[in-house]
Amino acid sequence: MNRYIIIVTFIFCSLLSWGQHYTQIITKEQAVIDTFYNKFVIRDNYRWLENTRSKDINEWMSQQKDVCEKYLNRAVFNSDSYNSIDKYSFVKYNNPQRQGDYYFTYATYNEGVPALFYQTDINDDPIPLVDPNFISSKDKIVLTDFSVSKNSKLLAYQFNRNGSDWSEVNVVSLQTRNPKKDHLQGLKFSNISWLGDGFFYTTVSQKGQFGTINDQKIYYHKIGAEQQSDSTVFSLEADQSEDRLNYLTTSDERFIVIKKTDKETKSSNYYFIDYSLAHPTLKPLLTNIKKHIDVLDSKNGKLIASATTNSDYGSIIEIDPENPSQIRTIVPERKDTLLLKVNPFNDRIVAFYQTNEHPLVVITDYSGNILQKLRFPVGSSVSGFEGNFKDEEVLFDYCNYTTPSVVYKFNLKTFKKELVKKTSINYSIDKIEYKTVEYISKDSIKIPMILVYEKGIKLDGNNPTILKAYGGFGIVQTPSFDPGIVYFIKQGGVYAFANIRGGGDKGFNWALQGRGENKQKSFDDFISAAEYLINSSYTNSKKLAATGVSNGGLVVAVAAIQRPDLFKAVVPVVAPLDMIRFNKFTVGNWWTDEYGAVNDSLGFARIHNYSPYHNIKDNINYPAMLLVTSENDDRVPPFNSYKFAAKLQSRTAQKNPIILKIEKNSGHNGATTFLSRIQAKADIYGFIMNELMKK
C-alpha cells in the first residue's frame, strides 16, 4: 500500500512539473526576399519549413513535439478534460442510411477506425461489410464514401490513407461480402455515380504532395476492367485546366449531367448525356449560367434541380433537356428562408430550409403544394430523408451541439413519425439552454450568433467562453454533437457560434459580403462578436477563447493578430495562414475567389493586409495559442502552421505560450480513430480551460 502511494505521488508530482514553465523555441532564420510589383518587399525567414522532408525540419518538429506533449499533458491533467470528454463521448444510437435494398451504418471495433456495416431490415443486427483494418497493416485507412449499384448487387467504397485527400476505390459484393478485383487510384474530391455495370469518377493532376491540382477528368469504369482501360467521358481544354467539374447520374440512370465552372468568370456550362437513346452523345444543356444550379435527379424525362442567385434564398426548378430554356419553377423562393438541400422522391419533394437559426423541413408535391412542415428547435441540425426514389418510408435524424443524433422513421404519404431506437447518453441535457442573439458588426450589419450554456448560470462577465465561427465558401455550418462542448458547458462555460459573413447562413449574398475583396468584413464580424460577448457581460478578455477549423482557423488567427487584446487563448486548427502563397499549393488555386488573388497590386495589398503570418508584430505578446495541424494535410499544407508558430515563438516579446501540435499520419480532417478523436478534443478543450482559469 505504501509503495502504491509513493508511485501515485511520483506520477502526480511529475504531471505538475510537466509544462510548469513554457519552453520557448527559437527557430533559425533563412531569409528569402520576394518583391511584388516593384514596391512590396516581403521577407520570409521561415520559407525553409516548407521543405517538410528535410532533416532539419525533422529535428525542429521533434522539439515542437516535446514542448507540446509536456504542455498539453499538464493542461489536460489540470482540466480533467480527457476523462470528462471520454465519458460524454460514450453515447448509443443507430444512424443507418438506406441505399438500394440495404441499410448502412458506420461503427467502430474497440474504439478504432469506423467500419462499414449493413442490414436488410432496420430491426436486424448489422453485419460487417468493410473493415478498414484489413485493407492495410501499415497505413491508417479511413472509409470516406460508398455507393450502391442500381441492382443492389455491388457496393463501391472510397478510402484514404493516413488522412490524405487522395482516395482509392474498391468494390465488394453485397450478396457474398467478397471483394471484387477492381481497385482504382488517383481520385480526389470525387463522387461515385453508377451507370449499369460500372460507375463514373474523377481524377486530377498534381505535382508532389503539396503541388497545385488541375486537369480534372471524368472517367467511366466498367466492373472487372483494369483502370488503365477506363474511358474518358469529359476532360478540360488546355486553357481551362483550373476549371471545376461536378457531375451526377440520375437515379433511373437515364442521364449524366456535368457542370463545368469557369475559374475566372465563375459562370457555369452544363452538359448531359441521355442514355435512353440508341446513340448517347454529349450535348449542351445550359450555357454561361450565373445562377447556382444543382441538378439532383430526374422525373418523367425532366431534370429536377435547386437554383440560387446572388440575391435570393433558393428555389426548386424543373429543366426539360429537350427545351432547356423553358425552366419551370416547382417551389418558389421562400422569403427570409434559406434553402439548404433538396431530396426528390417519386411524388414528393423534401426541402431543407433554415430560418432564424431554426431548421425547417417542408414536404411538397411536384406542383409545389405544401403538404407538411416539420419545425425543429434553434441551434439544431436535421439530416436524412434519403433513400430510393420510390421509397415511401425514409429515415431522418436530429441533433444539436449537446445532443447526439436521434433517429426517426418518417412516412412521406401519411407523415407519421416513429422513433427508430432510443438514443442513450450518460449526462443530463435538461438544464442546457440555447439562445440566439444578434450583434452589430463594424459596418452596422446585424450578425446572428447562437449561445449555449447551462440554465441558471450567473452571467457576470467572468464566464469562461469559447467563440467559434467558419465564415467561408458560402458554407452553412449546421450544429453537430460535440462532447467537448458538453464538457465545457458543465465547467460553467459559455459556447458561442457566430454566423459571420463569408458563410452562407443568410443566403449567397451573405457569403459574397465576406468573400474576395470583402474578406476583411468576415474578420470584422468575428471581432465584433468578441466585443459583444465582453460588453454584454458574458465574459471578459481574460476569459475569452477563440477556435475555428480550416477557414475558421484563418478567421480566429486573423482576429488574434488584429485584436490580441480581446482573447486569452486562440486555437486555429488546420488553418491557411500564409495567404501570400496559399494559391501555390494543393487546392489553393481553386480558392482565389474566396481569399482574393495576388496577381495585381491591389489584390496583393488586400491579402497582405490580413495574412496572419505577415502581420505578426515584433513588440506584441499575443494570446496563448495552440496551433493544430496534420503532417499529411494536402488541402491546407502543415507548413502554414509551422511558419506561423516559428515566427510567433521566435520573438522576445512573446511570453504567452505558442504550442504547435502536429497530428501524425493524419490529414485535413485530423484524428481518425475513436480514441484519438477524444484525445484531440481533450487537448483543445484542456488547453483552453487551462489558459482561461489561470489567475
CATH code of residue 105: 2.130.10.120
CATH of the domain at 521: 3.40.50.1820
Q: How far apart are CA 394 and CA 408, in angstroms?
A: 8
pLDDT at 639 over 80: yes
What integer is the mean pLDDT of 284-308? Answer: 94
What is the pLDDT at residue 325? Answer: 87
- Residue 373 pLDDT greater than 70, yes or no: yes
Q: Which pLDDT score is estimated for 681?
A: 96
Least-confidence region, from 108-117, 406-415, 602-611, 633-642: 108-117
Dihedral sign (CA 589, 591, 595, 596): positive
Task: Provide the grid cell at 296.
Answer: 439532383
Whether residue 486 is found in the same domain as residue 524: yes
Of 193, 214, 239, the position where a domain reaches its end is 239
Determine what percent of the chain falls in helix, strand and coil, rounding each to the nearest 5.
25, 35, 40
pLDDT above 70: residue 1: no
Q: Are 177 and 166 in contact (CB under 8 A)?
A: no
| 114 and 152, same domain (yes or no) | yes
Q: Are 305 and 441 within one domain?
A: no
Q: Give percent of the chain with pLDDT exceeding 90.
A: 79
CA distance 540 to 558: 19
Q: Among 333, 363, 383, which residue terminates a domain? A: 333
- Contact call for residues 454 and 433 (beta carbons, < 8 A): yes
Query: Does residue 609 fall inside a structural domain?
Result: yes
Q: Which helix (H) or strand (E) holds 499?
A: none
CA atoms within 13 A on the CB side of 255: 25
**Are 546 and 632 in the same domain?**
yes
In-domain check, residue 605:
yes
Which pLDDT value is given to residue 531? 98
The answer on 566 and 438 residing in a single domain is: yes
Sign of CA dihedral 403, 407, 411, 417: negative
Establish if 105 belongs to a structural domain.
yes
- pLDDT above 50: residue 342: yes
Interval 172-191 mean pLDDT: 95
Say yes or no: 277 and 401 in one domain.
Answer: no
Q: What's the total number of domains in the chain? A: 4
637 shares a domain with 544: yes
Q: Which residue, 195, 212, 198, 201, is CA-closest to 167? A: 201
Statement to judge: residues 455 and 580 lie in one domain: yes
Same-domain pairing of 416 and 443:
no
Domain boundary among 389, 424, 459: 424
Whether 316 maps to a domain, the answer reads yes
Average pLDDT, the chain: 92
Q: Is the pTM of this model over 0.85?
A: yes
Q: Are residues 306 and 235 in the same domain?
A: no
What integer pLDDT is reported at residue 581 of this predicted model?
94
- Per the domain annotation, does 378 fall within a domain? yes
Is there a domain that residue 386 lies in? Answer: yes
Q: What are phi and psi of 8, to 5 degrees?
A: -60, -45
Residue 43: inside a domain: no
168 and 24 part of one domain: no
Residues 589 and 658 in one domain: yes
Q: Which domain holds residue 510?
A: 2-33+58-87+427-692
Cα 55 from Cα 63, distance rounded (Å) = 13
Cell 520557448 sits on residue: 24
Q: Evaluate whether residue 483 is within a structural domain.
A: yes
